[in-house]
Amino acid sequence: MGLWEDWRKRLFPKGGAVLWHEVISRTAKEEISREAWADQIPEVLDTLSKSYHYKKMGIKAPWQVHLFDSPTANGFALSFPRNLGKLGFQHLFDLLKEQVQAMGYRLANSDRKHTDKGQFVQTVERHYLKPNVRQFEPPVDQRYGNVLIELVKEDDDPRYIKVMTTAYNDRQYQPAAPFHDFLERLFAPPA
């Protein structure tokens, strides 16, 4: 074993050492790119909506989507569609956050974590959103539940975006609104 390999194994043991963890902030260049990308939003959301619904019906979809459905957590993952481009995929990730905020949610956390996975460095950008609560007396309106949106990259190459809603299932909260209503609003072009 070479000296460098020995040091690497000591610094980054198996299981993946977190290299650094930071708050997400976009550069001026990324913001300018986002503004130029804005005219594509209706088409991108329409293609995402079709891909989700086609997958649900078992029909070949324009983009590759994976579904998750359980009593308290629902969601989907969108594999990176190359025709969207790296920056376009990042813009979609941020757009989905804004779409959820428009539903009466607040951003609880927005961070980026880089982890050494041995063969590659994994970067996970994450927006975690919670409903704005106006009434604290039980049962509390949880809307669709808490929402997690993740953008996962390997060596800076996008892999997928994951969107998950997780609802509380106890008497302190009203039942979560239907996931299909959440998707309808998520996929609707912004006003």
Question: Helix, strand, or coil here: 121?
Answer: strand
Q: Cα torsion for 51, 56, 58, 60, to the nearest 10°? A: 0
Question: Helix, strand, or coil here: 145?
Answer: coil
Distance, in Å, from the CA atom of 111 to the CA atom of 107, rounded to the nearest integer, reads 11
Task: Establish if 146 belongs to a structural domain.
Answer: yes
Task: Establish if 2 belongs to a structural domain.
Answer: no
The total number of structural domains that make up the chain = 1
Task: Establish if 11 belongs to a structural domain.
Answer: no
Number of neighbouring beta carbons within 10 Å of residue 34: 16
- Over residues 98-146, the pLDDT tens digits come to 999 999 999 999 999 999 999 999 999 999 999 998 878 899 999 999 9
Task: Establish if 14 belongs to a structural domain.
Answer: no
Q: Read off φ and ψ for residue 123, nearest 5 degrees.
A: -115, 125
Distance, in Å, from the CA atom of 110 to the CA atom of 127, rounded to the nearest integer, reads 4
Task: Establish if 155 belongs to a structural domain.
Answer: yes
The domain of 168 spans 26-186
Task: Establish if 176 belongs to a structural domain.
Answer: yes
Check: pTM over 0.75? Answer yes or no: yes
